[in-house]
Chains A and B, each alone.
Chain A
Amino acid sequence: MKDQTFTVKENRQIAPLTFLMRMEGDCSEITAPGQFINIQIDGLFLRRPISVCDLEGNTLTIIYKTVGKGTKAMSLMKEGQELDILTGLGNGYDLSKAGDRPLLLGGGVGVPPLYLLAKRLRAEGKQVSAVLGFNKAEEVFFADEFRELGCSVTVTTADGSTGTKGFVTDGMPEDYSYFYTCGPEPMLKAVFRASQTSGQFSFEERMGCGFGACMGCSCRTVTGYKRICKDGPVLEKEEILWED
């Protein structure tokens, strides 16, 4: 973990309530796709944890949805603004288990962390399939970006306004070597039930510190208590215990 100053280079809306922010700073602590950063925002006490979407040298991209005060304030930030950010948080996805035909399943703002993962898997020459789920056509983002990486992309929408009608589980291919997923908890549960192979799940939880000190985001797993921020946010399928 490092405490770094980043400078906002771009901050624009890419879908309803959904924004892309590109910033520059020291990204050396970020070691794996699926890790997150924790952003200090003036006037708010707790930092806001957001997953890393893309990384290129010192340029970091995040995609976030405005759901409360913190993300609303972020959406108003202008180019040139400096931000105090903790980087390199969380374990991230383990690429070594991907096999040769990994499947990526993302829902809504669960799609962004899968982008850097797809990029890294493609760089290793893997044949990557991605199923990206949204509520409706106007909310779809980054499908083309995944295609440009050379992924085989299926878009699903809950209302059927574009792509396959239904949820990501309705767009799952038959044949894949392993899977990686991120999205809202009902989606993760559905993927857990529908999946035929082992895989990795990225979880979301309200956090205090984001670096393992406060025990604010703990969950029970097969292998004991884990902190989503420090021991996660990525858990392996075999260690997940659903609470309800």
Chain B
Amino acid sequence: MGRLSTELCGIELDSPLIPASGTFGYGYEFAELYDINILGTFSFKGTTRDPRFGNATPRIAETPSGMLNAVGLQNPGTDAVISTELPKLAKVFRKPVMANVSGFSVDDYVESCAKLDKEAQVGWLEVNISCPNVHGGGMSFGTSPESAAEVTREVKKVTAKPVIMKLSPNVTDIAQIARACEAAGADGISLINTLMGMRIDLRRRAPLLANRTGGLSGPAVFPVALRMVWDVYEAVSIPVVGMGGVSSAEDVIEMMLAGACAVEIGSANLRDPFACKKITEELPGVMDSLGITDIKEIIGGAHNG
């Protein structure tokens, strides 16, 4: 066990770094760039029961210190992920992977989770009840405690693997949603998904994104994410995975001090495909400079006193 090791729902991670869903595909393309086994794990591209093309383009827009995306859960569907993507991943990644699952009905979530539960390489199910870019599903499950609890409860019935509920920041009280998930049996909470935003094209006088709105990510959202991780850490006793604008070793440490036992890194991977590798390499030096010998000792460390 190295000084970067931590634990997530009973599974040991060699590193707290986890590339976030939607920024790392199904992993094997990044494996051409560096050895992805240096990561704690990664969360694969949000997968739905049926294949989806996603939204029309433009799906991407620049924002101050960040970006908007409205991809809309493009993915090949659960069956194809199991038959095609996971075998490709197994050749380059020898650790458990986090399966990110989305849906448009409770049955969708249940069917996908039941199938992914049978996959040996899947270590955790990260249940996305927070996608802001699809209509009639996704985020709507994550914006009320009742529906968040219902998805949690039904998914828990069909899997023995740890279930991590991925929450939306587009709510009045994220701690309340987290508590509802915990009470319904969730094994962990991850947050935040993107913040809903938009841009308007001045020349066309029309929304820049074809979907009109998109999800804001990048350094711009880091302080918002940090505050929510702090709140959720105080509200629940299950593990919390922090994400939102993390782009440096210092950000990783800050997230962990706020209460995260592991940290997901999203849009930083899109700006720099080597971001997670660089942060992994920088982390020990930054820990030294801050007098941290073992990273898991700092989880929630800013809450003392």
Contact = CB atoms under 8 A, between A and B. Distances in A.
Given A213-B24, A214-B60, A225-B74, A208 B69 contact: yes
- Taking residues whose C-beta sits less than 8 angstroms from the other chain, chain A's interface range is 20 to 34
Given A86-B273, A214-B71, A218-B74, A1 B33 contact: yes
B66 A45 contact: yes
B30 interface: yes
A1 B273 contact: yes
- Taking residues whose C-beta sits less than 8 angstroms from the other chain, chain B's interface range is 20 to 34
A3 B59 contact: no
A3 B273 contact: yes
A217 B29 contact: no
B146 interface: no
B269 interface: yes
B53 A69 contact: no
A108 interface: no
Given A45-B65, A212-B29, A217 B60 contact: yes
A130 to B, nearest CB: 29
Contact of B57 (A45, A46, A217): A217
Nearest to A210: B270
Contacts of B33: 1
Interface string B32-67: 110000000000010000000110111111110111
A207 interface: yes
B89 to A, nearest CB: 14
Does more than half of chain B's interface fall in helix, strand or loop, or is it mixed?
loop
Interface in A166-225: 205-209, 211-220, 225
Given A40-B271, A209-B269, A218 B60 contact: no
Contacts of A148: none
A205 B58 contact: yes
Nearest to B19: A213
Contacts of B219: 45
Nearest to A217: B57
A217 B59 contact: yes
A225 B52 CA distance: 10
Contacts of A45: 62-63, 65-67, 218-219, 267, 271
B119 interface: no
Contacts of A225: 53, 74
24 contacts: A1-B273, A40-B271, A44-B62, A45-B62, A45-B271, A46-B60, A46-B67, A46-B271, A70-B62, A206-B57, A208-B60, A208-B69, A211-B29, A212-B29, A213-B269, A214-B60, A214-B69, A215-B71, A215-B74, A218-B53, A218-B54, A218-B71, A225-B53, A225-B74
